[in-house]
Amino acid sequence: MPSAEIAGPQINDINIKRQLVKEVTDSMMKAYKIPTPSSYVVTIIETPTENVAVNSELIADRGKK
């Protein structure tokens, strides 16, 4: 069963999440050629920006200087 994990900041709009998982599932269906959508698992991992750093800087701190 193919699966995908999408990690990023929180998405507050459930309709955007629905669209995201549909598009990811559609892309996996094209790649894997398994025609049954229920064969795919998509997990959204939401991480607060104070828990992620890029270039030694917390994302939550970007633009605060």
State the CATH number of the domain containing residue 53.
3.30.429.10
- Minimal CA–CA distance to 51: which of 5, 10, 3? 10
Closest CA to 45 of 1, 13, 4, 16: 4
Query: Which long-range contacts (C-beta less than 8 Å, at least 24 apart) are formed by 58-65?
Result: 59/9
Looking at the structure of the chain, the number of domains it has is 1
Q: Tell me what pLDDT residue 64 has.
A: 79
pLDDT in tens, the chain (65 residues): 999 999 999 999 999 999 999 999 999 999 999 999 999 999 999 999 999 999 999 999 998 76
Residues of the domain holding 38 = 3-61
Q: What is the Cα–Cα distance from 21 to 29, expressed in whole angstroms?
A: 12
